[in-house]
Amino acid sequence: MLEFIQLLNQRYQTILSQPGNEVSKIGYQQRIDQLILAEAFMRKGRLINSSPEQPLQMTIVGPTQAGKSSLVNVLLNSRVAGVSPLAGYTIHPQGFCHGVSFADCSGLQRYFGRFQQFQQAHIPKDRHDCYSLTETGADSPHLPHGVLWDTPDFDSIDSATYREGVIRAIALADIIILVVSKEKYADQSVWDIMSALEDLHQPTVICLNKLSEGSEALLIQSLKEKWQLARKDDFPEVVSLYYQKQTGLPFWPETKQTLLIHLASKVDLKKHVRLEQDLLQKHWKTWLEPVIAEHQTLNDWDKLVDEAIKQALVNYQRDYLNHPHHYETFQQALAELLTLLEIPGLAGILTGARKVLTWPVRQMMKLGRKRLHIADSSQEIVLLNQIAEHLLIQLADRLMDNAEQDNQRQWWKEFSSLLRRQRKAILQDFSTAAKNYHVSFQQDVEKTAQRLYHKLQEQPMVLNSLRATRVTTDAAAIALTLHMGGIGVHDLIFAPAMLTVTSLLTESAIGSYMHKVEHELKQHQHNTVKQALFVEIIGQSLLALPEQLSTMTHFNISPDQLKAAEFQLTEKRHGLRLL
């Protein structure tokens, strides 16, 4: 699940970073933040699992210049955190150990993942994927033992660049200390964050900093209202901080001495697994919305391809299989049959045309060459290529229509140009496959001829009368000419002798058998063309096209990937611990 959330996050970020795409930038940025938070919260779950004795993690958050770093110093009673009047001064999560050692914190690096740990003094200013951890000798009466985290702000102009660090430090927290000043407490950014944090159920305290005498009660009331607008849980305890001239730091009031220690006792890590699951479930639909829209579009595409193939097969039937002037395959079977009949006197006729003639005629032209010649002269292949071309033109039109009307405009537009680029290659593959089909289908044609020949042998009367007829000799001569490469297969259909032999056979005792065989041949041919050409070549290449869409502009998360993730999400018994 963690990997899936990472993948989703990465795709959101890539898509958002592409100029000119038609996505809602604010909506996407919000989801990215939610995904980063969810990922970090899941990492926290792993940390709890692998090191249940983790020191307590306390995170100070707040807008820039609220006094977060100053508060770190107050709570640790030292000067470990850098304080400055420059907005956005702290830009990394900085952890300070209080009463715990580095060794106690060994799980942190795994939690932070690709964020690298540095010593506070050496943390690079030009990198945002890092944090520092510092052992302090501090011994503060206000603060429970654990790690106190100073964090960057989330509201300054530059904060977008180090926002992930803030979110990671927040999700790590067992306790949240929100610091606001009277100037900043009403900012939307503060309450957006506090609202997002509600699902993490961390015990929280609010520190109201930079107070001036007399304003406290009014500010607290206003804070409470803000809180209640943002969240449903109880308004937390507020600590009012007044400035101390001598130290230049705010002053932690005597009355709140044990507040943080008390808060620490409310931390309940056992709930973490359920909270993780609730968090994922809460956002799942929104996060996956564009992925599902893509799947819907893919479905629409599959349907378009399916319809186009069905239409192509209807055309193939109409223009070839059932077309009286175009269908040549059965005629070809009859031509094969004629070469099996061993017509007397035929050799004589043909010697005039060719010097050397051996019997049986099948040997006259090598089998492979003969089949190739037949395929080369076939109208069926020409027609199939036309049907394929027509199919792609129709599809391109539909894509253009969708690119104008559908809500997935971007997808259809890119897809349209992808198809345009691939069109030639698909047609080329189709043409090669059509020829291969035709060459190998001749085996079936020859088998059909054999079946008819055997049937004729059961009917010596028909066989003998056929052999004795002059027109059979003429037709056989034509058949042989075809087999020698003298004419093309389409010439058979219009050869009068062939037509006469066909009607002779149709009216003979094997007439109905012949119809049956012709019907079976057509059926088999239809199925072969459908499978070998339209399903395996056209269908497969068209259905595989979406894989080539750029992951720069599309999620390209497959329905199977999504299904696997959703299974993990709803798998109650083992929960997310498994993942």
The reply on whether position 216 binds ligand GTP by CB under 6 A is no
Decide if 164 contacts 43 (C-beta within 8 A). Answer: no
Residues 364 and 395: beta-carbon distance below 8 Å: no
Report the distance separating Cα 204 and Cα 150, nearest Å: 15
Q: Nearest approach, Cβ of 295 to Mg ion (angstroms)?
A: 45
Binds ligand GTP by CB under 6 A, chosen from 59, 70, 442, 448: 70
Using N-to-C axis directions, what is the helix angle for 329-340 and 409-457, rounded to 10°? 30
- Counting contacts by CB under 6 A, is residue 240 touching ligand GTP? no
User: Can residue 246 be called a binding residue for ligand GTP (CB under 6 A)?
Assistant: no
Considering the rule CB under 6 A, would residue 284 count as an interface residue with ligand GTP? no
User: Which residues of this protein are in contact with Mg ion, per CB under 5 A?
Assistant: 68-69, 89-90
User: Rounded to the nearest 5°, which phi and psi values hold at 90?
Assistant: -80, 125
Distance of CA 543 to CAs 279, 298, 553, Å?
35, 9, 19
CB closer to ligand GTP out of 15 and 241: 241
Q: Is 69 in the site for ligand GTP (CB under 6 A)?
A: yes
Judged by beta carbon, residue 152 or residue 290, the one nearer ligand GTP is: 152
* Partner from Mg ion, ligand GTP, none binding residue 85, C-beta < 5-8 Å depending on class: ligand GTP
Decide if residue 28 touches ligand GTP (CB under 6 A).
no
CA–CA dist 261, 174 (Å, integer): 12
Structure tokens at 156: 């300054």
Site for ligand GTP in 247-276 (CB under 6 A): 248, 250
> H/E element holding 206?
strand 204-209
Pairing relationship of beta strands 94-98 and 204-209 according to DSSP bridges: unpaired
DSSP assignment letter at 264:
H
> For Mg ion, which is the closer residue by CB, 241 or 517?
241
Site size with ligand GTP, rule: CB under 6 A? 22
CB of 34 or CB of 65, closer to ligand GTP: 65
Binder of ligand GTP out of 28, 118, 235, 243 (CB under 6 A): 243
Q: Does 235 bind ligand GTP (CB under 6 A)?
A: no
* Residue 66 binds ligand GTP (CB under 6 A): yes
Please name the helix (run of DSSP H) or strand (run of DSSP E) that holds residue 71, with its range, or none: helix 68-76
What lies within 8 Å, CB to CB, of 326 at 6+ separation is 319, 320, 379, 380, 383, 493
178: three-class secondary structure by DSSP: strand
Residue 508 makes contact with ligand GTP by CB under 6 A: no
Q: Which residues pair with 60 in a beta bridge?
A: 177
Contact call for residues 10 and 542 (beta carbons, < 8 A):
no
Length of the chain: 579
Stretch that binds ligand GTP, among 67-75, 134-142, 458-466, 475-483 (CB under 6 A): 67-75
- The structure tokens listed for 214 are 């007399």
How near is the Cβ of 145 to ligand GTP at its closest, in Å? 23
Q: How far is the CB of 209 from ligand GTP (least distance, A)?
A: 5
Which residues partner with 150 through β-bridges?
Answer: 94
451 makes contact, choosing from ligand GTP, Mg ion, none, with CB < 5 to 8 Å by partner type, with none
| Closest CB 548 distance from ligand GTP, rounded Å | 46
324 binds, options ligand GTP, Mg ion, none, Cβ within 5 to 8 A by partner type: none
Query: Which residues here bind ligand GTP, judged by CB under 6 A?
Result: 62, 64-70, 83-85, 87-90, 153, 209-210, 241, 243, 248, 250
